[in-house]
Amino acid sequence: MVRLGFIIGLLALIGTLLSGLAAYRVHEQELAIEGIALARAIDVHASLVQDRLTERELLARVSSGLFRAPSVVRANMLQPLRSAIYAFKTDFVVASWIARLKPEELDGASKELAAAGFPNPTIRRIDDQPIDVHSLTKPIDVLMDLEPRNAETRSFAGRTVDDDPAIGAMLSRATAEGKPISSDPLTLLQPDGPVGLVLAAPVVQEGGSTPAGFVTFSYDLASLMLTNEDLSLFSVALKDPRGEDGELVANDRGMVSSHKVSAQAPPPSAVRAVTFGNRDWSLAYYAKTNAVRRAEQTAAIVGAIGLALTGVICGLFGYVAYNNLRLSREIQVRIGFERRLTAVIDELNHRVKNILAVIQSIVTRTLRHGADIDVARDLLIGRVHAMANVVSLLSESQWQGVQLKGLFEARAIPHAERIAVTGPDIAVSARAAQSLSLLFFELASHSDEGLSLVGQHPHIVAKWDVTGEPPKEIFTFRWEEFNTSEATRRADSDFGLILLDRVAPEALGGTSKRYFTDVSYVYELTAPMATVVDMTERDRTEQFSAPVRPGK
C-alpha cells in the first residue's frame, strides 16, 4: 500500500507540473497573439489618420497655389476656389480667406464687406469690438471671406485674428516659414463649439516676398484624428500640445474633451506620431480589453483541465492498482496470474487512451483561438460532463454496456424533460455509449436557441428501432425537433458538425444525415446492430470483470 501511495503521489506531481507548464505556455501564447493583433490594428489606424491628414494638407497647398488675385481687399476671394475645395470632400468646417491689410486699406475692406452682404462690415477685433484704425502702425490680418456662408459664419467676416492666441501664433509661424501651418486645438465657431484645428496656407502674390494673406481650413478634431470603430481593440487619444500632461479624447457622440493624465494612470499601450501642418502630433492608444486577464483566464481553464485529467488518471490508476493488489493476494497460487494481469492493464491503457483522446479533441476544438471564453467554458463543461457521466454508467455496469434509455435519463443531457424517448430497451457497448452520449449532448445543447415558429420551445422526439434478421440487424436512430427552423435554430459548432457527420457514424460503422423539414430539424443515424452492441467487446470485458476465486 505504501508503494501504491508513492506511485499515485508521483503521478499526481507529474500531472500537476505538466498542467502548470501547459497553462504557462497558453498564457504566453495568448499574450503574444493579443499583442500582435493590437499592434497591427494600431498601425493601420495611425496610417489611416496620416493619409487623412495628408489629404487635407494637400488641399491647403493646392488652394494656396491656385490662389492668384490682383487685390486682397475683395470680399469674394474664395469664389474661384469654391468648386475646387468641395471636390476634395475633406469635410472641413469652415474655409476662409484672411487678408493681410495695411491701415489705409481698411476703409476699402469695410466697403467690400458691405457690398458682399455681410451683416457687420466694420473692421473689428476678434472679440467683436471696434478697432481704432488711427492707432495701427503695421498691417493686420482680417477675415474677408469664408465658406460656407450661413447665419452662423457670416458674422465672423471683418474680424481681425491677430489677437487670437492660437490663430495669431499660427499665422506668425506660417509667415516666417512660408509653409502651411496648423494651429493648437481650439473651439470652432463659438465658445461651446466643437474642438478642432485650423490649417493656414500662406498666399504670396507674384513678385512678392511676404504673404498677402492666408487660405485657412478648420477641421473637427474628432473626425480628423480621433475617429475609431466601436468594435476596435483600442481607444485613441491625442496628446494635447498645450500641456505635457493633457489628452484630448472623443466620446461616442464625437464630442472632444480635455483631461489631465495622472502619474498613477496606466501608460498607453502604444504611441504613434503623425504630421500635420508641419507639426508632429502624438496619438496615444489604450487597449479596451485586459489582455493579461484574458490570458490568465484561459491559462486557468487549461490548468484546471490538466488537474482534472490528473485526478482522473490517478483515480483510475489507484482503483485498478488496488484491485490488482487484492486480486494478487487472492489468486497467488493460480497459474496464469501474470497473463491476466497484463491483459487487464493493456485493456485499461487502451480505454484511458481512448478517453483522453476524446477529451483532448473536445478541449482542442472547444478552446480554439478566437472562441468566446464564456461560451467555450459552458460547452467544455457540458461535453466533459457528458463523458464523465457515461464513464460512471459504464463503471457501474463493469463496462458491460449501458441501457440506451439510461443515456437520456442522465443529468448530463440538457433539456431532457422535453425529449420524448421511444424505442426498444437496448444495452449498447462501451464504445457506442461514449459516442452516443456526446451525440445526444450536442443535439440537445443546440435545441434551445431562441423561440420556435409558434412562440414555444422546440418539442423533441428521439426514436430508435432495430430491423432485419440476425446477424444482419440494422439499428436506426432518428432525432427530430419540431417547431423549429433553419432560421431559429443555432448553427452547429465545428466540433458538433464533425461529431454528427463523421465521428459518431464512423465509430458505429454506419452513416448519418441531417436536414430541415417544413416544421422540424431531423438527424438520422443508421448502423449495424452488431457494432452497436459489440458482443466481442462485452465478452472480453466480462472476462476481465469476472470475480476471481482464491486458490485452495
Per-residue pLDDT tens over the stretch 73-101: 777 877 777 766 666 666 889 999 999 98
In this prediction, residue 454 carries a pLDDT of 45
Q: Are residues 45 and 109 in the same domain?
A: yes
Per-residue pLDDT tens over the stretch 14-52: 988 888 888 889 888 888 888 899 899 999 999 999 999
Between CA 238 and CA 159, with CA 95 as vertex, the angle to 5 degrees is 100
Q: Are residues 523 and 399 in the same domain?
A: yes
Residue-range definition of the domain harbouring residue 288: 1-301
Per-residue pLDDT tens over the stretch 130-159: 888 888 888 999 999 898 888 888 889 999
* Average pLDDT taken over every residue of the chain: 82
- Phi, psi at 274, each rounded to 5°: -125, 160
**Per-residue pLDDT band at 333 (split at 50, 70, 90):** low
Average pLDDT over residues 236-240: 92
Residue among 525, 533, 535, 519 nearest 464 (CA): 525
Give a yes or no: residue 285 inside a domain.
Answer: yes
Average pLDDT over residues 475-491: 84
Of 301, 318, 345, which residue is a domain's last?
301
Q: How many domains does the chain have?
A: 2
Per-residue pLDDT tens over the stretch 290-329: 888 888 888 889 888 988 888 888 888 888 877 877 777 7
Q: Are residues 253 and 362 in the same domain?
A: no
Q: Are residues 136 and 250 in the same domain?
A: yes
Indicate yes or no: pTM above 0.75.
Answer: no
Helix (H) or strand (E) holding 87, with range, is: helix 82-87
Average pLDDT over residues 371-390: 74
In this prediction, residue 90 carries a pLDDT of 67
Please name the residue that has the C-alpha cell 496615444.
284
In the predicted structure, residue 542 carries a pLDDT above the cut 60: no
Q: Are residues 295 and 421 in the same domain?
A: no
CATH number of domain containing 101: 3.30.450.350
Produce one character per residue of 108-117: b if its CB has 16 or more CB atoms within 10 Å, e if not: ebbebbeebe
Whether 41 and 234 have beta carbons less than 8 Å apart is answered as yes
CATH number of domain containing 501: 3.30.565.10
In the predicted structure, residue 400 carries a pLDDT above the cut 60: yes
DSSP per residue over 164-178, as a string? SHHHHHHHHHHHHH-
